[in-house]
Amino acid sequence: MSAIEPMPVKCLRLISLLKPEQRDHHMQRALDLLQSEKCDISSISRERGVATTVDHVSCQDFAMLQSELQVLPDALPNLLLLSVALLGENVSAALAALREAFQERYIPIVIVGEESDAAQIGSAMESGANDFVMLPTDPKLIKSKLQAQLKVGSMHAIMSQQHREISNNHQHILREQQMAKEVFNKVAHDSAELANVRHWLSPIAVFNGDILLATPTPSGSLLVLMGDFTGHGLGAAIGTIPLASTFYGMASKGFAMYDIITELNSKLHALLPTGVFCCACVAQINFQDGVAEVWNAGLPDCYILRQNSELLEINSSALALGIMGSDAFAIESKRYNLEQGDRIYLLSDGLLETENTAGEQYGELRLQKALTSTTQNHVQAPAQSAAGLESIKQDVLEFIGEHCRADDISLVEIEMVSAEQFESFYDKTTKHKVQQPVSWSLQYEFRAESLRHQDPVPLVLHSLLEEPNLRQYSGQLFSIISELYNNALDHGLLQLSSSIKQQEQGFARYYDMRQRRLQELDSGNVRFELDYRATSDSGALTVEVIDSGPGFDYKAKQSADKGGDVLHGRGIALLRTICRKVEYQGSGNHVRVEYGW
């Protein structure tokens, strides 16, 4: 019977399962009324004047009843008018068998009997019958009872159809959400699996506005972005994909943090609707120099936790991404000297604003207490410091208890490690073999007007990495290009002394002077000359950088580099370990290096 479809609402069908002697003049009169008077069930079916047909099926016992039901000619009935005598002694089992025969279709069952059948009728009502008719009785009362059950049955049929439609739509939405979730997670949360970066992301929905991006850069530093878009759910998640694609694309090409943030703001300002923006904190950690540059725009105070339990707050100093256009957008980052074992914590406001059952917020004081209680020495075993983030997470969860959260919670812990340790945390690019000999050369000249506003290193590096065989050497090439350019700009055009870095807070002072002098630069240029030759077995890239500065006594500088370990002047020494050749020409404003394999 499960294959039989319900009849259209335009015709209500009753199956009269009565013994011939029970079709007395009272019952027949009621059935005649139903057939002659159009049933008004407009409130259920939205159709007026629904015709009712009555099929009389003669049965002597329940077995015959079941047989008759199996051979119903067209469709399931809308109502069963059933003699209690046909149910036998086990009324409950008989009604259960009827319901099983109809399976998911709801069909009202009205029991018909006489006063002597009161006990069986009562048992039938307890076992699932919908109503009863005690003969003899008024035909109009019988008709009213049957009409009421027909309305209930029609309502149930409509609700069942709506339930099926909702269920199908729900399954369709779940499938679409699952596909979108896979893309969303890969783009928004598929950050580099690095042993010194640990995170706790606890969203309240499949899609959410909290985003974590982290990637090593060609220079060997780490770039991390914690973002929190306004709102919740899909509306908050719409900006994560353009944010992530821009972040990873520019970071892989070696763009400076300043340029990446500027581009992220421009893109979000152009794409996002009014009222949607992204509070963000961006941190770049230079493991070689032990320096972190942090920019906080709209997120709660982030923290640097030193091994001696000293806690430094990193306040928000800018508007969130996507609010203002590039003309009015300003970036003022902060620099901090770090030692191995120091940790940086980035967080969203959902962590501070989460409440317990008493309505109290977790707040900054509890977080600061939890942070300082985790301090311990992890210089040699960075994996052990996972207890730091885990202990904070446990503290927050114990505070929340059984209370339902109203916002996403995100917390990131970044540990300062040695440059060698960090390099071992991520895989290198798969090597590419040259199929045919390659030979080309490029030349770039950057003048003062461009140097004031543009970092040429990503442009030059991007040109090199368009060559497939060079991509596996992106880290070394970044070091070469950036060191040569920074030396040419800082010491050639800007006349800065690296000895400033040796002073207390020297790095911060050095970069402040660099930025100021760069904005005042009104003449001069830096020229790159690149020459690349490769075969299937070997290759070489020659890079020459010439600046218009006065130069320097490079022979005396080379002698000085042989003594002492200082915090400055290590760039050329680093190049000598990477390149086959490093040689100065002219007055010291022309350097030529050769990198080969």
C-alpha distance from residue 522 to each of 141, 166, 493, 589 (Å)? 102, 68, 10, 19
Secondary structure of 250-319 as H, E, C letters: HHHCCCCHHHHHHHHHHHHHHHCCCCCCEEEEEEEEECCCCEEEEEEECCCCEEEECCCCCEEEECCCCC
Q: Please check the confidence at residue 11 and state whether its pLDDT lies above 50.
A: no
Bridge pairing between strands 79-83 and 438-447: unpaired
d(C-alpha 35, C-alpha 33), whole Å: 5
d(C-alpha 533, C-alpha 542), whole Å: 9
Residues in the chain: 597
Reported as a pLDDT band with limits 50, 70 and 90, residue 50 is very low
Q: Identify whether 20 is preceded by a cis peptide bond (ω within 30 of 0).
A: no
pLDDT, one tens digit per residue, over 160-176 is 889 999 999 999 888 87
Q: What is the DSSP letter of 51?
A: E
Q: Please check the confidence at residue 64 and state whether its pLDDT lies above 70.
A: no
Of residues 183 and 384, more confidently modeled = 183
Bridge pairing between strands 51-56 and 334-337: unpaired
Edge-to-edge strands, sheet with 343-347: 197-202, 409-415, 343-347, 302-305, 311-314
Fold of 11-162: Rossmann fold (3.40.50)
pLDDT, one tens digit per residue, over 123-138 is 989 988 899 988 778 8
507 phi and psi angles, rounded to 5 deg:
-65, -45
pTM: 0.63
Where do the domains of the chain lie? 11-162, 189-424, 438-596
pLDDT the model gives residue 16: 60
Beta-carbon contacts of residue 173 (< 8 Å; ≥ 6 apart): none
Q: What is the mean pLDDT of the chain?
A: 80
For residue 92, the number of C-alpha atoms closer than 13 Å in the C-beta half-sphere is 3
Of residues 152 and 528, more confidently modeled = 528
Q: What is the DSSP letter of 52?
A: E
pLDDT the model gives residue 554: 66
User: What residues form DSSP beta bridges with 581?
Assistant: 594
Please check whether residue 352 is in contact with residue 364, taking contact to mean a CB–CB distance below 8 angstroms.
Answer: yes
pLDDT, one tens digit per residue, over 228-287 is 998 777 777 788 888 998 999 888 888 889 889 999 999 999 998 888 899 999 999 999
**What is the widest separation between alpha-carbon atoms in the chain?**
127
CATH number of 189-424: 3.60.40.10
Residue 594 neighbours by CB distance under 10 Å: 16
Of residues 359 and 208, more confidently modeled = 359
Burial class (CB in 10 A: 0-12, 13-18, 19+), 421: middle
pLDDT the model gives residue 128: 87
The structure tokens listed for 155 are 């309502």
Fold of 438-596: Heat Shock Protein 90 (3.30.565)
The crossing angle, in degrees rounded to 10, of helices 554-561 and 571-578 is 80
CA 517 to chain centre: 42
Q: Please check the confidence at residue 561 and state whether its pLDDT lies above 60.
A: no
Please check whether residue 211 is in contact with residue 244, taking contact to mean a CB–CB distance below 8 angstroms.
Answer: yes
d(C-alpha 464, C-alpha 482), whole Å: 13
Handedness of CA 478, 479, 481, 485 (dihedral sign): positive
Please check whether residue 299 is in contact with residue 226, taking contact to mean a CB–CB distance below 8 angstroms.
Answer: yes
> Fold identical between 11-162 and 438-596?
no
Reported as a pLDDT band with limits 50, 70 and 90, residue 427 is low
